[in-house]
Amino acid sequence: MKRNLLLTPGPTQIPPSVCQALGEPIIHHRTPQFQEDIKEAIEGLQYVFQTKNDIYLIPASGTGAMEALVANILSPGDKAITVEGGKFGERWTELCQAYGINAHVIKVPWGQAVTAKEIKQALEEHKDAKAVFITLSETSTGVVTDVQAVAQEVQKTQAVCVVDAVSGLGVIDLKMDAWGVDAVASASHKGFMLPPGLAFVSVSDKAFKLIEESKSPRYYFDLRKSKKAFEKTDTPFTPAIGIVRALNESLTLMRKEGLENLFAHYARLARGTQQAALALGLSLYPDESCRSNVLTAIGLPSTVDGNKLVKVMRDTYGVSVAGGQAELKGKIIRIAHMGCIDEYDILTGIACLEKVLTQLGHSFELGAGLSAAQKVFNQE
Ligand SMILES: *Cc1c(COP(=O)(O)O)cnc(C)c1O
């Protein structure tokens, strides 16, 4: 019988107690009981977002949270700055285009991160820019952005700093308030260890002023409605009741562990995976200066077909990792360090990777990856 181990950058493995919570009968949402659930969820989310700002719960995938921010913060004809160094950075540009926003794009080579200096320069050249859209952890390339440094530059201007933290929140550090980040988008199915279907957005007062001024058409994603409901511990439409209740179990687990310990846990898994890849004669795709702990993007030799590698690992052995997207299709694999996984899950993934690499004719000493990862895990 085959297991299905998810080492993918969303969806991620769900803890047993969260699965149990998901199996509970549904309750009605306009009740004191569900109000308590919302209250608890908001408090827990504020802990993970490291913010005192409002947090709105929107039934949607992560892109819904991103769209909500674009549609609410800007108006047609406004200018914004976006960063394209991977698929998710491109999504900000595409969303801006869909809402008639004039996006000035900073192009970054894939595998590298945008620098605060580049952001500063763009803001000087585009003084009318109202928002800067960045990505905490670019899932298509395994690159992490120095959000703190970027936010510091944006703060000096009229613009707001908007971060896609769909992948990364709860896995690596993002101090929304302390770093002066104005808006954050996230979702249930990555670091929060839940099924997809629930998105979260948080906005600062500076960002909310823009939301009140915005002339963009919006209805379901209207954050003015969300704010009004939030003030009554309510949601504007039917919430994802089951996922909100399971979220509280997930948040309980995260708070019990503590953010610092979670970050250290995933960083250790990342270091083990990185050493394993190198020991197998593979390369690490992102620049050393900006490697994300959220996932490890591993470069494959041209002799190994990455699509086939991913397919055999998943379909024959029940270990799911992600392949490359767009220009990286077939050239990399991505192993996530997110969700309910530990070092033995990573070792299973590496063992499976070794097995299939051998089948595909890549030569290395069998066990070299496992040994390298275990050395990291045993020492730290
Ligand atoms: C997963 C992800 C998203 C959202 O994707 P959905 O499929 O809409 O959930 C956005 N940004 C990043 C960086 C992601 O990893």
Tell how far the Cα of 146 is from the centroid of ligand 1, in angstroms.
19
Q: What proportion of the chain, given as a percentage, has pLDDT over 70? A: 100
Spatial distance between the Cα atoms of 325 and 140, rounded to a whole number of angstroms: 6
Provide the angle, in degrees to the nearest 10, between the axes of the packed helices 205-213 and 223-230: 130
Q: Which residues line ligand 1 (CB under 6 A)?
A: 9-10, 61-63, 88, 135, 139, 164, 166-167, 187, 196
pLDDT at 3: 80
Tell how far the Cα of 70 is from the centroid of ligand 1, in angstroms.
15
142 φ/ψ angles, rounded to the nearest 5 degrees:
75, 30
Neighbours of 17 (CB within 10 A): 14
Provide the angle, in degrees to the nearest 10, between the axes of the packed helices 62-73 and 205-213: 70
pLDDT in tens, 205-220: 999 999 999 999 999 9
Give which of 292, 291, 326, 318 is closest to 7, Cα–Cα: 318
Whats the size of the chain, residue-wise?
380
Tell me how far the alpha carbon of residue 257 is from its chain's centroid.
19
pLDDT band of residue 294 (cuts 50, 70, 90) is very high
Nearest-5° angle of CA 69, CA 70, CA 71?
A: 95
Residue nearest to atom 9 of ligand 1 (CA): 62
Contact 163, 135 (CB under 8 A): yes
pLDDT at 2: 77
pLDDT at 148: 98
Contact 44, 248 (CB under 8 A): yes
Ligand 1 pocket, mutate which of 162, 167, 171, 292 (most atoms under 8 A from CB):
167
Given the DSSP bridges, would you call strands 199-203 and 183-187 parallel, antiparallel or unpaired? antiparallel
What's the pTM value of the predicted model, to 2 decimals?
0.97
* Domains of the chain from N-terminus onward: 16-256 (3.40.640.10), 258-379 (3.90.1150.10)
Integer-rounded Cα Rg, in Å, for the chain is: 21
Ligand 1 pocket, mutate which of 8, 166, 200 (most atoms under 8 A from CB):
166
Tell how far the Cα of 172 is from the centroid of ligand 1, in angstroms.
16
**DSSP code for 6:** E
